[in-house]
Amino acid sequence: MLSQQTIDIVKSTAPVIANAGPAMTAHFYERMFQHNPELMDIFNLSHQHSGRQREALFNAVHAYAANIDNLAVLLPAVEKIAHKHASFQITPAQYDIVGTHLLATIDELLSPGQEVLDAWAEAYGVLAQVFINREAEIYDQSAETEGGWRGTREFELIEKQAESELITSFVFQPVDRGPVAAYQPGQYLGIHLKPEGFEYQEIRQYSLSSAPQADRYRISVKREDGGKVSNYLHHELKIGDKVKLVPPAGDFHLKRQNGQPVTLISAGVGLTPMLSMLESLLDHDAPVNWLHAAENGRVHAYGDQVQQLANEHAHIRSTVWYREPSDEDRQQERYNFTGLMDLNEVRDQIDGPQMQFYFCGPLAFMQHVAAQLDAMGVSKDRMHYECFGPHKVI
């Protein structure tokens, strides 16, 4: 429990730290990596270079300070971050390291005095313990689940299939050939890699792209221009190669209820968690809408498979938008609409007070979808979404 004095000090100094903005987070990360270079095996360095991780840290610190007297507001964000940390296998000792460098950064950039530093130290300690406790629960749950484990586990690549010009699927089976933990459709799998040629270990999370299976996991990965890990997976990882995986995690997942209709909305590789949800809804007793947007048929993954599922199950309807269809796309009628996704074109399918919406894709796409749903009167509690990389509120 924080003292009122600590709460008052943190809230009063939060605007000063907010004004420091990116300079503070840049100083923090540079300082931490200089003194604790081993953490470069943990943090996603591509997010460091792009500034996305630094922005996420700044937003988290600011949100915590602004709501320090009402921490219940932060619980959804805590849950999301705790799952991500569990995928990175974050330890209590690493919270101590982060706290040391955060306080040193505040001192070195702002020189606020010992009273302020002590207040922020107390506040950070409380928040860190919240995360440590929740992550311990996630670790325990993963280990105690049938087929589950703690830490990393060695898996072998047993299938590799190009699904489009940009997306390839990878199927992994445990080397020990034991069962694997089930997961909630929409969750992701953590992969820890340090092959020859990698200076640091690289950790990524990729959405599981099929319904749960007893002895294997499937992910589907988009090859990114300049993406170190995605290009390694696409071009170098071969059948029989071994990787280290951590148990499935993530707070974005299907919340299935009998009689409740569902609409799955995606663009590009954002279809991966939606595929897991769709395959888990084949016996659903209410309508399921699959809405997907792609540039064209060359980059549209799983199009034939989804259409086949829709053909075989009367409660599933698939609608596809191509922004710039090719002549071949037109000839083969691979899509329903052209241009950007316009939900008004399928409003009769998706309207209704019980409809639940799950969506994933590029940030601008999700903002576009959220704005349309809002205009249609859809309440926020019926919108569920996932951002790849550091989370953003849309």
Binding-site positions? 85, 188, 204-207, 268-273, 387-390
Token pair of 222, please? 């988009």
Nearest to 252 by CA among 84, 56, 128, 370: 84
SS3 152: coil
Distance of CA 79 to the CA centre of its chain: 12
Between vectors from CA 312 to CA 308 and to CA 313, what angle results, nearest 5°? 115
Q: Contact 75/238 with Cβ under 8 angstroms? A: no
**Residue set of the binding site for NADP(+):** 268-273
Q: Residue for token digits 């949800």?
A: 277
Q: Contact 368/339 with Cβ under 8 angstroms? A: no
Active site residue 95: yes
Nearest to 292 by CA among 262, 330, 318: 318
**Residue set of the binding site for heme b:** 85
Q: Residue for token digits 């100094």?
A: 13
**DSSP code, position 146:** T
The residue annotated as part of the active site, out of 95, 217, 358, 385, is: 95
Q: What are phi and psi of 121, to 5 degrees?
A: -65, -45
Rg for the chain (alpha carbons), in Å? 22
CA distance 39 to 97: 10
Q: Which amino acid is at 127?
A: L
- What's the chain's length in residues? 394
SS3 113: coil
SS3 51: coil
CA distance 203 to 47: 12
Active site residue 135: yes
Token pair of 155, please? 């898996």
Token pair of 283, please? 């016996």
The residue annotated as part of the active site, out of 29, 64, 124, 135, is: 135
List, by residue number, the catalytic residues: 95, 135
